[in-house]
A and B are shown apart, each in its own frame.
Chain A
């Protein structure tokens, strides 16, 4: 069955430190991978997707098919990065998204 695993419930780092939020998935095909973010009192929104291969708000994520991972990284954390982050996959467009359980990122000043 398709599954997304985020091993860390909470990640706390100091401002300016590097950030890496881990994500592993299980799926036999070639899924599309996403990172969604939810800031305090805001709705869930797309942060980035692997097919775009772009950097959003300084975040990047590389799909590693060998390790079935899609870790989210940022070299220098900022206080405004504090939020809930969800890794997710879907196996085709017009299909459901399968979410991980989320990692709360807390940036300390």
Chain B
């Protein structure tokens, strides 16, 4: 286990299609975060899980977005009826319940909506 992994690394889709991304956190990390990063901006928080419970969702997460972490391990982020404005880098991070609680980031999934 060398770190947080994300799949796919790149996704090109047509407007209106559904897409799903996967994040595998560092093993034994019980906290998992999703962020979105658009060109020229820093990452923006989308949602947070502690184990399988989704504890916080950003207002950026419209009804077309849904995230799950069914067994408290990997997580999926689905975007339904994609729009061109959804084009971005989607980042996943994980951390463990500790004094420092450092978030470790994955390489990201770059989504392009045509």
Contacts and interface: CB of A to CB of B under 8 A. Distances in A.
Interface bracket on B: 20 to 34
Nearest to A96: B45
A1 to B, nearest CB: 12
A102 B107 CA distance: 17
B97 to A, nearest CB: 7
B56 interface: yes
Interface in A57-109: 86, 88, 93-102
Contacts of B102: 46, 49
A43 B100 CA distance: 20
A17 interface: no
Interface stretch (B14-22, B35-43, B66-74, B80-88): B35-43
A4 B104 CA distance: 20
For the complex of A and B, 5 pairs with smallest distance between CB atoms: A99-B42, A96-B45, A93-B101, A44-B105, A43-B107
Interface of A: 4, 9, 43-46, 49, 86, 88, 93-102
